[in-house]
Amino acid sequence: MRHSPTAAIFTATAALLLATGCSNDKPDRDPGPIPPPPSARATPQPTRTHRTATVAARTAAAKILHANVQHYRNALNTGRRTWGTSQFGPWQTKTLTDLTYQDAFTTADQHFTADTEPDSINTWHDDIAAATDAINQWAQHNTLATAAEPAPASHDAEAALTKADQDAANVAAGK
């Protein structure tokens, strides 16, 4: 088989490049960092300044939050009173579906803007959700079948309600 002179030159050049490591004697030039196109450059974001809401707004929001904590405290006390009676079942059904804290949070939050919303309102939301969960666990654990035994302590629910009350006080303080 006969190869053309061009193929022979190509083969010889390839062999030479492979033997020498495909390098040249010129050092590579580092062009440095390539700047992004103008459309991709990030614009500096303004720093968020947190302002404290007015006393009236904080007080109004805290009043809503405190009232909701009291609502759940009353519900827990009703559960304790009705435990072991035929009224416990209906109380339990109502309590397991009680999510009024969501409405209270939304209503209280309307008193603030993104710049004036205190962090404690979100903490309140988390703590009141924990309180309702503790109340629900207590309600689920206590059925009429356990009426012959004392009701388990509901101190987890009380502790969570106390935390939520403190959070509401922090909302009033603008914390």
Could you report the per-residue pLDDT of 83-135, keeping only the tens digit for each? 888 898 899 999 999 999 999 999 999 999 989 999 999 999 999 999 999 99
Q: Is residue 148 part of a domain?
A: yes
Q: Which residue range forms the structural domain that includes residue 92?
A: 55-173
Q: Does residue 167 sit within a domain?
A: yes
68: nearest Cα among 99, 93, 97: 99
Q: Is residue 77 part of a domain?
A: yes
Across 42-47, average pLDDT: 54
Q: Rounded to two decimals, what is the model's pTM?
A: 0.69
Task: Compare 171 and 38 and report the one with higher pLDDT.
Answer: 171
Q: Indicate whether 13 pLDDT > 60.
A: no
pLDDT at residue 1, as a whole number:
47
Structural domains in the chain (count): 1
d(CA 134, CA 156) in angstroms, rounded, equals 6
